[in-house]
Structure 1
Amino acid sequence: MANEERVVCVHCGAVNRVPAGSNADAAKCGRCGEPLFEGKPADVAAAMVDRQMTKGTLPVVVDVWAPWCGPCRMMAPEFEKAAQVGEPGMRFLKLNSDEHQEMAARFGIRGIPTMLLLRDGKEVARVSGAMTSNQILGWLAQNR
């Protein structure tokens, strides 16, 4: 159906249909009952990034980071602010490159923080380096 989004729950992986024009901010997962959007990025495993890319219809923004990375830690609150504004029109995820090295290698990540914009199962844009929330939102608007 063209008048709906398929939103993948970051908690259980279930695919939920959210009608266009409905209040997606308040939507809950039909399987686990958790909110589909929480106004903050979800820290996820590689399998969840794949599931979001292949089963969901929302653009996916992935912050590839590591806990030892100073610029990554500086950008974390800015990425969260961007998620507060960008959801529910996009899905915001964080991927720890130390814990998920295979996926970081698959995406060709050479430096962190790196943000990826994924749509329809493909990477459509990427940017490296720490950014403010306004810079992140501007980059997303430019590449949407």
Structure 2
Amino acid sequence: MTETSSMVHVVCPHCQTTNRVARGQLGSAPDCGKCKQPLFTGHSVALGDETGFDRHIGRNQIPVLVDFWAPWCGPCRTMAPAFEQAAAQLEPQVRLAKVDTEAVQSLAARFNIRSIPTLALFVGGREVARQAGAMGAADIARWTRQHLG
């Protein structure tokens, strides 16, 4: 394997800078080259606008699991702790992100989100799987891994 193919792009959850990280170093708590914060925190990333969303979906070379939710949604609030637990289980192989469909209605419309919570899994910038309804942490991790092969 060449050095170039063993490198992956990972978007910093703090400053949105794209970092090149050796695939073998993903589990070694890499830091952002710009802001020096950890690239993986074991927590989801809140994506508050289309620019941040597009950056994470388009530039991350690791899969991104997005929770489309709203603050008024009871099942969304119930699932939130499970989504955070799943983040701790799935990182650094998968980035977990949250999109508040009330705050960023354009993304909800763009992805035709009809019920919440809805999980959407993106690989290489493209949606590869979608699941509506609240799930527990183990089910979120299992569903994600199943769709990643």
TM-score by length of 1: 0.96
The alignment status of 1:124 with 2:125, answered yes or no, reads no
Match of 2:97 in 1: 93
Aligned pairs (5 A) from 1:1-144: 1-45=4-48, 46-144=50-148
Q: Which amino acid aligns with 2:51?
A: A
Q: Return closer, same or farther for 1:57/1:111 CA change in 2, 3 Å cut-off.
A: same
Letter in 2 for 1:91: R
CA RMSD across the alignment = 1.0
Unaligned runs of 5+ in 2: none
Q: Distance in 1 between matches of 2:119 and 2:59?
A: 20
* 2:25 alignment partner, SS class: coil
Misfit runs of 4+, over 4 Å: none
Q: Distance in 1 between matches of 2:132 and 2:26?
A: 33
Letter in 2 for 1:76: A
TM-score by length of 2: 0.93
1:23 positional shift: 4.7
8 Å contact from structure 1 (residues 25, 88) kept in 2: no
CA deviation after TM superposition for structure 1 residue 24, in Å: 3.7
Alignment: residue pair count = 144
Deviation per CA, 1:68-111, whole angstroms, max 9, x where unpaired?
10000000000001000100001100000000000110000000
Contact 2:26-2:92 at 8 Å conserved across structures: no
